[in-house]
Chains A and B, each alone.
Chain A
């Protein structure tokens, strides 16, 4: 580990912190354009965070320490996740810190804390949101793991960095398994990031909301941290997806040129990805909450099929 490596790692984290709200803003803007609405400014999430950080925190009477700690834990988890996922380079100091399975665990930890915090106050909306979040997570996590196993089998390693290096270096081959895994991953990301077919980030309709129901009681800097963490989660998932399925452009080693080139490539990929996300959200209708298991079941199905197809078709014994 070199000093410059450390610097780049720090830079990657700062970049994540800075880009995450921008990505959220970009998706919202695209969505507004596609739906023929006048779009909010690109920087709206920053204004939002700024405003929230300046406001006072109002705590419910029954709130415990857990309620106050949870936003920090969630935020910390997401920052860690962003640091582990190779956004700019595969050779950063934190990359060997955790493999993909641990990464899923980090996401899971954040989920547990936010659900617990939601139930902590004892309002019906909070518990409802927490329960629904756990339902989604319980179904999404196995699918995500299956996706990761498929990629791990191709590269024979569960370390994100190794997977990305292997995938970026392979010849151009049509992997049906990767196609299946990609579809499954898209499904999971939609569910995990409270996007349209499963949840709608833009409403407060009590019958349907999941994420919003959990954070109703938060205010001030706590809410700001949680919103930021949500942005980071979207950023993390996007980067993970890009790293797994479109790994080209991510630098290996810590050469200045490669890393500097990786930044615009990443921004461009995120911009396209965000626009696609907004597009998919616009053409789909939100499904009833009871159909969410079916949606995630499909994701799981795809992931397992990818794994099986990988085993059958692509291994030459």
Chain B
């Protein structure tokens, strides 16, 4: 039974649970800056979890991805987002389309779905961290939910990045990480994406005097 789980696996499970918890916290967070901080914290947890996997399995390239995660997701991206929030003078409140308890219930349902989808697969895995695949998928889905229910631009982007976090967790947990060249490519894409979005925010604000993307609902099928 459970007694056979080695300490490293316990730690990985713990970090994965924290990531899931942070995903929920982000879903429930009403303000922008704490949201970004939560995202940074998630990146940090991801980095720690990757480090444990790297240390346990002796996969050298995982140290690289851990460092990449730390620099990109825990420091650089939150910093850029903080700057954006300050420069754009975003209002502190985040509005959601549906209230928070309803969101939470939807989140729980998503987590159940994700766990069910992932269960047969994680049983096939021999990786030490295989159980976290379901959590990774759940984080992806929760971030997805966050993108759907948020009406402001920056929370949507945080949701997008959190989705990337979940995917990264999936990569480390199921397979000990993708090949380095792919990981670098993904990191580059994410970074460029955020920079482009930064430019884009300014365009949106100049055009609408607000970052509420409910202004962006003119194009519809009539």
Contact = CB atoms under 8 A, between A and B. Distances in A.
A308 B111 contact: yes
B interface, by DSSP: helix, strand, loop or mixed?
helix
Interface of A: 154, 170-171, 173-177, 179-180, 293-294, 297-298, 301, 304-305, 308-309, 311-317
B4 to A, nearest CB: 7
Contact of B17 (A173, A180, A315): A180
B115 A312 contact: yes
A interface, by DSSP: helix, strand, loop or mixed?
helix
Nearest to A302: B21
Contacts, number: 73
B104 A297 contact: yes
Contacts of B131: 312-314
B92 interface: no
A179 B17 contact: yes
Contacts of A177: 17
23 contacts: A170-B3, A173-B5, A173-B10, A174-B13, A174-B14, A176-B13, A176-B14, A177-B17, A293-B101, A305-B17, A305-B20, A305-B111, A308-B111, A308-B115, A309-B13, A309-B20, A311-B115, A312-B118, A312-B122, A313-B17, A314-B2, A315-B2, A316-B2
B20 A174 contact: no
A174 B14 CA distance: 7
Interface of B: 1-5, 7, 10-11, 13-14, 16-18, 20-21, 24, 28, 100-101, 104, 107-108, 111-112, 115, 118-119, 122-123, 131-132, 134-135
Could you say which of B7, B100, B111 has the most chain A C-beta atoms within 10 Å of its C-beta?
A: B111
Contacts of B2: 154, 170, 173, 175, 314-316
Contacts of B18: 176
B5 A314 contact: yes
Given A313-B132, A317-B123, 11 more contacts: A173-B2, A175-B2, A179-B17, A180-B17, A305-B20, A308-B111, A309-B135, A313-B135, A314-B5, A315-B2, A316-B2
A122 to B, nearest CB: 32
A180 B16 CA distance: 13
Given A173-B2, A305-B20, A317-B123, A312 B135 contact: yes
B2 to A, nearest CB: 5
Contact of B101 (A294, A309, A313, A317): A294
